[in-house]
C-alpha cells in the first residue's frame, strides 16, 4: 500500500506510542459504520455487544458505538480492531427473488481485505507506532528504531541520495513485511543504503564504504574518530559475512529479527551522521 500523502511528507516526527488519539477513534468509527453499511458486519448491535464485552461493561440498550469507542482504554481499541477483522467480518449476501434464495455478493475474505486495508491506512494517517496486517496489530519497531528511521528518511530527501533512499526503502519494506520476514535482506539493504550515502556525499573517497570511511577517519575536528569508524567497518563485515546476507555459505552468524532491527536503526544513525559530517566539511560561502 502506498502511504497517504500526509504520511509520506510528514517528516521525522516520532510515531504515536502507548496511546490511541481521539482522531484515530473517530477514523475507526467511520470505517466501522461503512462496513456495516456494506453489510460486511451484521449490524450496529453486534458491534456494540462486542465493544461492551471488550470494555467489560454490562449490556445497556442505550449504548452506542461512538460512546464505547471513545471510552475504551487505548490498548482495548486495538483489541477491537483485531476482533473487528477476525470475528465480526462476514459474508455479504442478498436475496435474489428469481432464485428465491440468498446469493453471495462479497465473501468474508474480501470483506476482511477491505477492513485490513482501511485499518492499515488509518494507522499510517495517524502516525501510529503500529501496523495492521494478517488480522493482528503489531508494533513497527522499538521507539528508538522508529525515531532513527524517521530522521534518516528526512535527510534522504536530498536528491543526491536517491539511490541510498531506494536501498533504505527496500530495507524498510523487508523489515515491515510481517507475513514474509526477511531479516537478511534488511541487513543487506540497510548497509547498501549507508554505502550509497557515503559514496554520494564523499565521491573522492573511494568506491566502497570501507574506502570512503577510511578517507574521512582521523582525529581532527569534523573527521570520523577511529573508534566510531570501526562501527561502519563492523556492519559492512556483517553484511558480507552474515549467514544468507552477502555471500552464499558465509558463516558469520545467523541474522535474527532483533539483529535486523538493530542493523536498521544503526544504519539510519550512520546515514544521519554522514550527512552531518558532509555538511560540516562544506566551505562557508561568504555573502
What is the distance of C-alpha 90 from the center of its chain? 28
Q: Give pLDDT, residue 245.
A: 66
1 domain-assigned? no
Question: 78 and 158: one domain?
Answer: no
Query: Per residue in 32-77, pLDDT tens?
Result: 999 999 999 999 999 999 999 999 999 999 999 999 999 999 999 9
Question: 237 and 156: one domain?
Answer: yes
Higher per-residue pLDDT: 145 or 199? 199
Residue 287: pLDDT band by 50, 70, 90 thresholds?
very low
Question: 151 and 200: one domain?
Answer: yes
Residue 142: pLDDT band by 50, 70, 90 thresholds?
confident
**Residue 249 scores a pLDDT above 90:** no
Yes or no: say if 102 and 96 are a contact pair by the CB < 8 Å rule.
Answer: yes
Q: Give pLDDT, residue 177.
A: 73
Q: Is 115 exposed, middle or buried (0-12, 13-18, 19+ CB in 10 A)?
A: buried
Helices within the chain (DSSP H only): 5-8, 22-37, 44-55, 65-71, 74-83, 108-125, 143-155, 162-176, 183-201, 209-216, 226-241, 257-281
Higher per-residue pLDDT: 100 or 114? 114
> Torsions phi, psi of 128, nearest 5?
-80, 150
Residue 282: pLDDT band by 50, 70, 90 thresholds?
confident
Question: 118 and 154: one domain?
Answer: no
Among the candidates 106, 139, 172, a domain finishes at 139
Q: Give pLDDT, residue 285.
A: 44
Average pLDDT of the segment spanning 2-10? 72
Q: Give pLDDT, residue 134.
A: 83
Give bridge partners of residue 189 from the DSSP assignment: none
Question: 188 and 267: one domain?
Answer: yes
Lowest mean pLDDT, pick from 51-55, 111-115, 281-285 = 281-285
**Residue 131 scores a pLDDT above 90:** no
Residue 243: pLDDT band by 50, 70, 90 thresholds?
low
Total domain count, the chain: 2
Structural domain range at position 46: 21-139
Question: 71 and 157: one domain?
Answer: no
Average pLDDT of the segment spanning 74-92? 96
Question: 252 and 171: one domain?
Answer: yes
66 domain-assigned? yes
30-38 CB contacts, 8 Å cutoff, 24+ apart:
31/115, 31/118, 31/119, 31/122, 32/65, 32/69, 32/84, 33/65, 34/118, 35/84, 35/89, 35/111, 35/114, 35/115, 38/92, 38/106, 38/111, 38/114
Grid coordinates given for 40: 460486511
Q: Is 248 exposed, middle or buried (0-12, 13-18, 19+ CB in 10 A)?
A: exposed
Amino acid at each position: 500500500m502506498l502511504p497517504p500523502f500526509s504520511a509520506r511528507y510528514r517528516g521525522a516526527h516520532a510515531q504515536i506510542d502507548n496511546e490511541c488519539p481521539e482522531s484515530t477513534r473517530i477514523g475507526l468509527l467511520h470505517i466501522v459504520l461503512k462496513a456495516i453499511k456494506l453489510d460486511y458486519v451484521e449490524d450496529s448491535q453486534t458491534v456494540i455487544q462486542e465493544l461492551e464485552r471488550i470494555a467489560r461493561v454490562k449490556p445497556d440498550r442505550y449504548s452506542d458505538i461512538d460512546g464505547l469507542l471513545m471510552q475504551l482504554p487505548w490498548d482495548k481499541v486495538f483489541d477491537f480492531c483485531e476482533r473487528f477483522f477476525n470475528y465480526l467480518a462476514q459474508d455479504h449476501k442478498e436475496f435474489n427473488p428469481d432464485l428465491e434464495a440468498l446469493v453471495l455478493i462479497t465473501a468474508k475474505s474480501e470483506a476482511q481485505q477491505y477492513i485490513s486495508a482501511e485499518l492499515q491506512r488509518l494507522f499510517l494517517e495517524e502516525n501510529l507506532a503500529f501496523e495492521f496486517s494478517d488480522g493482528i496489530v503489531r508494533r513497527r519497531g522499538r521507539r528508538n528504531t522508529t525515531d532513527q528511521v524517521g530522521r534518516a528518511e528526512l535527510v534522504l530527501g536530498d536528491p543526491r541520495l536517491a539511490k541510498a533512499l531506494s536501498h533504505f526503502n527496500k530495507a524498510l519494506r523487508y523489515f515491515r513485511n510481517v507475513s514474509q520476514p526477511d531479516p537478511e535482506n534488511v541487513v543487506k539493504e540497510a548497509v547498501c543504503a549507508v554505502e550509497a550515502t557515503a559514496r554520494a556525499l564523499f565521491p573522492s573517497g573511494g568506491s566502497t564504504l570501507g574506502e570512503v570511511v577510511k578517507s574521512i577517519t582521523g582525529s581532527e575536528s569534523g573527521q570520523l574518530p577511529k573508534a566510531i569508524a570501526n562501527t561502519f567497518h563492523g556492519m559492512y563485515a556483517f553484511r558480507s559475512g552474515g549467514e544468507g546476507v552477502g555471500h552464499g555459505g558465509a558463516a558469520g552468524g545467523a541474522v535474527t529479527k532483533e539483529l535486523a532491527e538493530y542493523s536498521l536503526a544503526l544504519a539510519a544513525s550512520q546515514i544521519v551522521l554522514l550527512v552531518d559530517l558532509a555538511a560540516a566539511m562544506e566551505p562557508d560561502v561568504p555573502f
